[in-house]
Chains A and B, each alone.
Chain A
Amino acid sequence: MNVPGALLGLLEPEPSHGYELKHAYDRYFGSGRQLPYGQVYATLARLERDGRVKAGGTESGGGPERKLYAITDAGVTALESWLGEPERPEPHLQPVLFAKVMLALLSGRPAEEYLDRQRAAHLQRMREVTAGRETNGLAGTLVADYALFHLEADLRWIDLTAATLGPLAKEISR
């Protein structure tokens, strides 16, 4: 999972505190594995160092750190670049694809286009694997089939998600 990308996406609609970002991340993308506070603040510090977020004043109080973070223009550019770039087709991509879809919907970006590009990248990979499927004997065919079945499973998920975008957008805007 690309935590910096996800945090930028969550920050884009409005400035937020590390504490709130962590909870938004856990709610959408945690799937039972929460993001440690240390990682949230370390990632925000790196994003700030790279000019992708800007930290406002720290609010006083006895609770957790209350620094308000806002995305910068450079941060928006980095976010768009990450969202728009298809992931390298390989097994177990679902968390990052799901995050991109959610972040696109949260920010009013065209999630369908991201899914289309990813579908094209997957199909191109399937084409390459299919073309070489029978060049290395039966063992090679079985290795190719394993890759093809996994790519196909991803594609089914991509198609299902594409068909569900309308209701999903409604659900998260509630």
Chain B
Amino acid sequence: MSELTMTTPVLAAHGVTRKFGATEALRGADLTVGYGEVLAVMGPSGSGKSTLLHCLAGILRPDEGEVWFAGRRTDQLGERARTELRRRSFGFVFQFGQLVPDLPAIENVMLPLLLAGQARAAAREQAAALLAQLELDGLEQRRPGELSGGQAQRVAVARALVIRPEVIFADEPTGSLDSLAGLRVMQLLTGAARAQGATVVLVTHEARVAAYSDREVVVRDGQVTTLATTP
């Protein structure tokens, strides 16, 4: 690990404020995430946890405060630079609706590689290996509609991981699944991310999902509370 990665958090938010109209979703949120950490962001509905994820990932720009990724400030970047950053360095897993319905599973996973300019054969090979790692071998040619919810979500995980991102942002990734399928997705997601050395920022309201993390923070009224087990 380089000196930079030992001393610098991979992600940081300092005093981040974000409003939607008159509603203040984040009110001076502070957070740092270490390299390779699996962090659970918990909190009640409407507390601002998804907004925090979107600000960290460069999907939203904060109204005030700073966002840093790998020692570089990202909240001041323009739209194009943030899009490029997301495509190169981040992977995303959302609750649902992220796979292209007309494409077979393997082509859904290949998409980010093809967008990055990789040759088709090499992309196919990498996507197939990742699908196998996520226990989806044999299902490569199925379209999302022909997969169970848990299988489709594992395809989404494969697609997020295939570019070997530095950070995976997962927003309620098991929210649409039953308990067992959800746990399997979490097990495979965190296992594969750890194997790649990727950091995971996981937004969830479910304790059993958060139990796959290394650490949790709670977002309450737009601010981040870091929990401590000792007084």
Contact = CB atoms under 8 A, between A and B. Distances in A.
Interface of A: 84-86, 116-117, 119-124, 126-127, 129-130, 148, 151-152, 155-156, 159, 163
B218 A127 contact: no
Contacts of A120: 216, 227-229
14 contacts: A116-B227, A116-B228, A117-B230, A119-B218, A119-B227, A120-B228, A122-B207, A123-B211, A123-B216, A126-B207, A126-B210, A130-B212, A156-B207, A159-B44
A116 B225 contact: yes
B120 interface: no
A129 B218 CA distance: 21
Nearest to A119: B227
B93 to A, nearest CB: 19
Contact of A117 (B212, B216, B228): B228
Given A148-B208, A155-B207, A159-B44, A127 B231 contact: no
The binding surface of chain A is classed by DSSP as helix
A151 B207 contact: yes
A117 B231 contact: yes
Nearest to B231: A84
Contacts of A127: 211-213
A126 B213 CA distance: 10
B41 to A, nearest CB: 13
Interface in B202-221: 207-208, 210-213, 216, 218
A84 B213 CA distance: 25
Given A117-B228, A119-B227, A126 B208 contact: yes
